Amino acid sequence: MATRQPFTSSDTADEAVRATCDDASTCKRFATSKGYWKDPYIQYFVRQSGERKAPEISRGYYARVHGVNRLLDGFLRKTTCNCQVINLGAGLDTTFWRLKEANLLPKKYFEVDFSVIVARKLHNIKTKPPLSNPIVATHSTDLLLMDGHSLDSDRYCIIGADLRDLPALEEKLKKCHLDTKLPTLFVSECVLVYMTLEQSSSLVKWVADTFDTAMFINYEQVNMADRFGQIMIENLQRRQCNLAGVEVCRSLESQKDRFLLAGWEKADALDMMTVYNILPQDDVGRIEQLEFLDERELLQQLLQHYCICWATKDKLSLGLLDVTF
Amino acid sequence: MAGAADCGSVKMAEAERSAETLKEKANNYFKEKDYENAIKYYSEAVELNPDNAIYYGNRSLAYLRTECYGYALADATLALELDKNYIKGYYRRATSNMALGKFKAALKDYETVVKVRPNDKDAKLKYQECSKIVKQKAFERAIASDELKRSVVDSLDIESMTIEDEYLGPKLEEGGKITLKFMKEMMGWFKDQKKLHRKCAYQILVQVKEVLSKLPSLVEITLKETEKITICGDTHGQYYDLLNIFELNGLPSETNPYLFNGDFVDRGSFSVEVILTLFGFKLLFPDCFYLLRGNHETDNMNQMYGFEGEVKAKYTAQMFELFSEVFQWLPLAQSINGKVLVMHGGLFSEDGVTLDDIRKINRNRQPPDSGPMCDLLWSDPQALDGRSVSKRGVSCQFGPDVTKRFLEQNQLDYIIRSHEMKSEGYEVTHNGQCITVFSAPNYCDQMGNKGAYIHLKGSDLKPEFHQFAAVPHPNVKPMAYANSLMQMGMM
């Protein structure tokens, strides 16, 4: 039997990364409670805290959620849902339920995150009928295969795994009937940046090697070589959170290159200020009325330091290049 | 064989039956506390049979459980429109109104229920409770308008606050009178990142509240031919940059008047030092040192952007409450020689506002969501004529034509405002009629902008711009005291 490379994960660093799950969830909870967008499921994962979030943060999450969803839904439509979606580092994301309600479920929807986070998510699902009912409804039997560590139902699979251990990840996905021949969409939001370049390149390359027809949507930081980036890195370091892969976040070019160099055919990237201005402007106008923004330049700066990058390889010539903004 | 009319009524009956089935389904979901699905199926029932008040009534209750009070109110109202005698409808409407804070409206509906069901104990109880709340609110309003509302000042006993021997910092003399010596000592003390004793801080705050409360909402000053004034924009807690302004431009004095145009606090992490310095100078030179209110001299902004956190960290929550009271007394605008008008934000969402209107504003409050007081603190100029909805979410953006009309109507030459960061520290727009000045260089340690201030001479009232760069400051990051997620961005 081949010996696997043992990799040492610094517990503190990983803990800090896992804590970002709460950041994202509480910010989204706050934003939805203010009416930025509707998510009737998030309340089952995170309670509303008394703490207000600044308007620019809510607007940032609005752009993120709508930007990623635009590409995600585009992929689903292009493949007429005859595909798979795998969300890496999904945290407490509620996309499965959104797609179920919109009748846009792929053949199978996978989520991967640290076991600790998955356990939390599963506990919420188990104890809240509004979460479990839709899953049961898409399952062929009345019983869900769910232990404390993973869920494998017909249409929804949640796996606890370390994204830096690719052999283990692949094994677990295959156990949940991952079909490498189906067009597959990978999504990662503020995930790759917490890994070293080597680790994220391996991941991105593994996807390219394993799937012939695929798309990868990556949302994370960009333009980090400036002062703002410096400050963000310092602030996060104070929380013991390392942006180990921040070098790739240098520019839109470097974000695209990470995919192109790993065997993806095409890659595109936009910073979130651009995305914000491309999104349907009546709804953007609506959310701008929700809270008072104290300094517009700061919103712009914030948005310019995040991007959505998406890469495709299209052996089946489905026209995946058409999936864009 | 059924005729056409029969077909119609058969279809109707069928629809009604299906609607009932859907209602039952929804009721079951409701019992399971699955309110989303309950709402969904009540809605489907309503689509098949829109004339059944109970469907709306039930859906209203489901909305109440999910805290969608606006929708709950709408449904309860619909239910009552369909059936005036649907008692539950009154209850639901009253509950919605209670949740929305509309106690008088709720009371009316409870009254109706009590009249129709005089023996219903629960109805009577709810009516009495609601009645109490309405009375209480009326009482509070009455006190507020009498200005007998309790101030933090009333609960302070500054006299008995003792200064420990170990405290080596600046102290005020008996009676708390500010001197130039004290100011210099305090500024040096702050520069070394030391804390002013809370007794002195309270003494400053109590006195400056007195002084500010006597000022009109529109301050009017006259600069003589030989006099000048320096106008600064946002400083946002950047204490070391404020010290630099005093280095470059001299300390405030009778011959060196200053006007600081709002946004003294938040974002920068030395807001306490900035504001105590500015308040100190206001007390020292009340007739040649001026402060106007910015949108950050408000509770909402202070809660989010760091000032409240900083005051709580360095002093106490009670002191923050006093700051909040003092901020409410800051004037909203200043006119210079009747020709130049200064305010933090900008002009108004509607034409026809006069200087007299500004004078008459009752400013001792948090700014409302709209209206002249809100506009003065929040609006921005735009390049296009007319007005647009502001991307800030409040107030408006106003064009050169709006500025022109306002100036003409009020016989002014131009306005000076702040509120927006400018990379050069200032900007002249609207054909010279709208000037922006911003005095927080390298805003938030990240924007890389210059700061600027304006010299205005009484002889010609022509603005002279002076730019300056950021100076180093101790390693306390901006927003150090703000809600922690603010600094992190998206994760």
Q: Which chain A residues have a beta carbon less than 8 Å from that of B425?
A: none
Mean pLDDT over the full length of chain A: 92
Whether residue A113 is predicted with pLDDT greater than 60 in this model: the reply is: yes
The proportion of chain A whose per-residue pLDDT surpasses 90, expressed as a percent, equals 75
Whether residue A313 is predicted with pLDDT greater than 60 in this model: the reply is: yes
What would the pLDDT profile of B350-371 be if each residue is shown by its tens digit? 999 999 999 999 999 999 989 9
pLDDT higher for A195 or B394? A195
Q: Mean of the pLDDT values across residues B96-107? A: 81
For chains A and B, count residue pairs whose Cβ atoms are closer than 8 Å. Answer: 104
Distance in angstroms (rounded) separating the CA atoms of residues B473 and A302: 23
Q: Which of residues 274-303 of B touch A (CB under 8 A)?
A: 295-296, 300-301, 303
Are A31 and A271 spatial neighbours (Cβ–Cβ below 8 Å)? no
Q: Which of residues 417-436 of B touch A (CB under 8 A)?
A: 420-421
Q: Mean of the pLDDT values across residues B244-272? A: 97
Q: Which long-range contacts (CB under 8 A, 24 or more apart) does A253-257 make?
A: A255/A218, A255/A222, A255/A307, A255/A309, A256/A309, A256/A311
Indicate the pLDDT class of residue A2, thresholds 50, 70 and 90. Answer: very low
For chain B, say whether A277 makes contact (Cβ under 8 Å): no
* Cβ contact, residue pair B483, A288, below 8 Å: no
What would the pLDDT profile of A127-165 be if each residue is shown by its tens digit? 999 999 999 999 988 777 777 789 999 999 999 999 999
Whether residue B6 is predicted with pLDDT greater than 70 in this model: the reply is: no
Q: Which of A297, A301, A300 is nearest to A224 (CA)?
A: A301
Q: Mean of the pLDDT values across residues B213-227? A: 97
Q: Mean of the pLDDT values across residues B257-286? A: 97
Residue B167: what are its φ and ψ, rounded to 5°? -75, 120
**Structural tokens at position B236:** 């946002």
Indicate the pLDDT class of residue B142, thresholds 50, 70 and 90. Answer: low
pLDDT higher for A203 or A317? A203
Whether residue B467 is predicted with pLDDT greater than 90 in this model: the reply is: yes
Distance in angstroms (rounded) separating the CA atoms of residues B431 and A170: 65
Instruction: Quote the ipTM score.
Output: 0.73
Q: Mean of the pLDDT values across residues B37-45? A: 93
* Cβ contact, residue pair A53, B486, below 8 Å: yes
For chain A, say whether B472 makes contact (Cβ under 8 Å): no
Distance in angstroms (rounded) separating the CA atoms of residues B342 and B470: 25
For residue B37, what is the nearest residue in chain A, using CA coordinates? A130
Q: Which chain A residues have a beta carbon less than 8 Å from that of B296?
A: 294
Indicate the pLDDT class of residue B145, thresholds 50, 70 and 90. Answer: low
Indicate the pLDDT class of residue A8, thresholds 50, 70 and 90. Answer: very low
* Cβ contact, residue pair A301, B487, below 8 Å: no
Instruction: Pick the range with the lowest mean pLDDT from A67-71, B139-143, B312-316, B355-359.
Output: B139-143
The closest CB to that of B485, out of A27, A295, A306, belongs to A27
- CB-based contacts of B181: which residues, under 8 Å, 6+ apart? none
What would the pLDDT profile of B43-70 be if each residue is shown by its tens digit? 999 999 999 999 999 999 998 888 777 7
pLDDT for res B331: 98
- CB-based contacts of A282: which residues, under 8 Å, 6+ apart? none
Separation in Å, CA of A236 to nearest CA in chain B = 7
For chain A, say whether B485 makes contact (Cβ under 8 Å): yes
Q: Which residues of B422-442 are buried (b: 16+ CB within 10 A; e: fewer)?
A: beebbbeebeebbbbbbbbbb
pLDDT for res A5: 39
Distance in angstroms (rounded) separating the CA atoms of residues B228 and B245: 16
Q: Which residues of B are catalytic?
A: 296
> What three-state secondary structure class fits B9?
helix
Indicate the pLDDT class of residue B184, thresholds 50, 70 and 90. Answer: very high
Residue A187 DSSP one-character state: E
pLDDT for res A115: 94
Are A225 and A243 spatial neighbours (Cβ–Cβ below 8 Å)? no
Q: Which chain B residues have a beta carbon less than 8 Å from that of A53?
A: 483, 485-486
**Structural tokens at position B153:** 């000042």
Whether residue B216 is predicted with pLDDT greater than 60 in this model: the reply is: yes
Are B306 and B271 spatial neighbours (Cβ–Cβ below 8 Å)? yes
* Cβ contact, residue pair B389, A302, below 8 Å: no
Could you tell me which residues are beta bridge partners of residue B414?
Answer: B340
- CB-based contacts of A309: which residues, under 8 Å, 6+ apart? A217, A218, A219, A252, A255, A256, A259, A267, A268, A269
pLDDT for res B2: 46
Q: Which chain B residues have a beta carbon less than 8 Å from that of A292?
A: 295, 300, 378, 392-394
The closest CB to that of A289, out of B393, B446, B448, belongs to B393
The closest CB to that of B391, out of A40, A236, A296, belongs to A296
For chain B, say whether A35 makes contact (Cβ under 8 Å): no
Distance in angstroms (rounded) separating the CA atoms of residues B65 and B61: 6
Whether residue B190 is predicted with pLDDT greater than 60 in this model: the reply is: yes
Amino acid at B19: A
Q: Which chain B residues have a beta carbon less than 8 Å from that of A235?
A: 477, 487-488
Are A148 and A179 spatial neighbours (Cβ–Cβ below 8 Å)? no
pLDDT for res B487: 56
For chain B, say whether A292 makes contact (Cβ under 8 Å): yes
Beta strands in chain A (DSSP E): 84-88, 108-113, 145-146, 151-152, 156-160, 184-189, 213-221, 266-271, 306-314
Indicate the pLDDT class of residue B287, thresholds 50, 70 and 90. Answer: very high
What would the pLDDT profile of B149-173 be if each residue is shown by its tens digit? 578 888 888 888 889 989 999 999 8
